[in-house]
Amino acid sequence: MTEQKDKVTVIDDRSRDEEAEAICKWATARAGVIVIAPLVGTLTLVANQVYMIMKLGKVYEEHITETAAVSLLSSLGAVYAGQTLATLIPFAPLQLPIAMGTTYGLGKVVTEWLKSGKPKDLSAFKTVYDDAVKEVKKNINIFKNDPRKDEPLGDESKKFDR
């Protein structure tokens, strides 16, 4: 009986990880659409990321409110620096890898953070973030062509205070 339960747990964990990865890729592709759209800007990227965090929480059975998601974003200041830079440089070859890399990196960090029991110290996840950003830059066309890129994760017009 224990063996069967362990198999179910492994399948459930694998399914969750696959679902989380799909959400991260969706949000990343969406960031690529958002950043090159005129007049959309950083606030829409923030909304995209807030909804990604909330969706990742659901995958791992954690209720993450909008306020908690914004608070988590605030604790990752480098993400905002990248977003701001991405929206200020009106040159898509620079905007895309920055906005998409920060979004995917954030998604991967949040996934690992949730799987680790939501520790207060996020510094242990720096390598996760850096590796994810590199992955996007190396495979940007794969991320840009995600079939859900034109589908918002939530209300992108909502303004989230940081």
Question: Lowest-pLDDT range, 47-51, 58-62, 158-162?
Answer: 158-162
What is the pLDDT, as a whole number, of residue 115?
A: 96
Q: How confident is the model at residue 146 (pLDDT cuts 50, 70, 90)?
A: very high
Has residue 100 got a pLDDT over 60?
yes
d(CA 72, CA 30): 20
Alpha-helix runs per DSSP H in the chain:
2-36, 41-59, 66-74, 77-88, 92-115, 126-138, 140-144
Average pLDDT value over all residues in the chain:
86
Instruction: Give the pLDDT band of residue 72 (cuts 50, 70, 90).
Output: confident
Helix 66-74 to helix 77-88 angle, to the nearest 10 degrees? 90
HSE value, Cβ hemisphere, 13 Å, CA-based, for 25: 17
pLDDT digit string, tens, across residues 115-126 = 999 998 888 898
Banded model confidence at residue 157, pLDDT cuts 50, 70, 90: confident
**pTM for this one?**
0.87
Dist. CA 34–CA 11, nearest whole Å = 34
